[in-house]
């Protein structure tokens, strides 16, 4: 992998996102720059991993909500197999839901999809040069979170459990979640049972109430 040392060098990126129109929109936006080039795009985690196995990129722009493997699972595999490849997570989820979790998992930054395109481009350039990108609030949580001896119950969930937890909290049914994640309803039900057990909750209403109180949705 080559690293861009200044904005005059080309930054070849791989986009991982399952929405064709969003990918196309990014491609059009980056086409207006002189340094950011979309070398390839993938609509799911398996396709993205395969592209990384066979090509080189300066940066991966990764969505968290893709069918099949979750973005967090893809991120962990990427960092395990290609530790020097920068990954910038671009997600529809608010920072409070996932930013700390993905940065701890190895992402070089986290930015939401409603951010201004200029902010996204600056984040790409910073991360491609080996830097990190996060809001001041997330940076503070990462820097000082270890001083807080208590851990919220949702922090004990695995990445997949946390993903299912957020989807249940938003009112999605087990069938809807299973379809979106390409998993069986039985598997989602098992995740739900483990979530309730780990968080010492008894039903979905309590889970939703917890998510609201902790500003996770």
pLDDT, mean over the chain: 86
d(CA 153, CA 142): 18
Q: Domain boundary at 121, 145, 169, which?
A: 145
Instruction: Give residue 64's domain range.
Output: 11-145
d(CA 75, CA 109): 12
**What are the tens digits of pLDDT across the range 95-144?**
777 888 888 889 999 999 989 999 999 999 999 999 999 877 777 766 65
> Does 183 share its domain with 137?
no
Give the pLDDT of residue 147. Answer: 43
State which H helix or E strand residue 89 sits in. Answer: strand 87-91
Higher pLDDT, 186 or 94: 186
> Does 97 share its domain with 178?
no
Residue 13: closest CA among 139, 135, 123, 92: 123
> Does 89 share its domain with 180?
no
d(CA 196, CA 78): 30
Rounded mean pLDDT, 79-100? 87
CATH of the domain at 116: 3.40.50.2300
* Domain count across the chain: 2
């Amino acid at each position: 992998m080559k690293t861009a040392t200044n904005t005059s060098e080309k930054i070849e990126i791989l986009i991982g996102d399952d929405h064709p129109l969003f990918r196309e929109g990014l491609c059009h936006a980056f086409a207006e720059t002189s340094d950011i080039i979309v070398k390839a795009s993938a609509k799911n985690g398996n396709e993205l991993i395969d592209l990384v196995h066979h090509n080189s990129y300066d940066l991966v722009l990764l969505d968290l909500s893709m069918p099949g493997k979750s973005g967090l699972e893809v991120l962990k595999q990427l960092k395990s197999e290609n530790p020097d490849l920068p990954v910038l997570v671009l997600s529809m989820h608010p920072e409070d839901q996932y930013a700390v979790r993905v940065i701890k998992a190895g992402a070089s930054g986290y930015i939401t999809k409603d951010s201004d395109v200029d902010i996204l481009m600056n984040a790409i350039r910073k991360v491609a040069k080996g830097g990190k990108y996060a809001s001041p609030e997330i940076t503070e949580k990462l820097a000082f979170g270890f001083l807080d001896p208590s851990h919220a119950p949702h922090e004990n969930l695995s990445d997949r459990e946390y993903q299912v937890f957020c989807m249940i909290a938003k009112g999605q049914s087990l069938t809807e979640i299973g379809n979106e994640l390409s998993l069986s309803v039985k598997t989602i039900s098992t995740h739900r049972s483990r979530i309730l057990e780990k968080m010492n909750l008894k039903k979905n209403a309590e889970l939703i109430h917890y998510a609201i109180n902790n500003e996770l949705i």
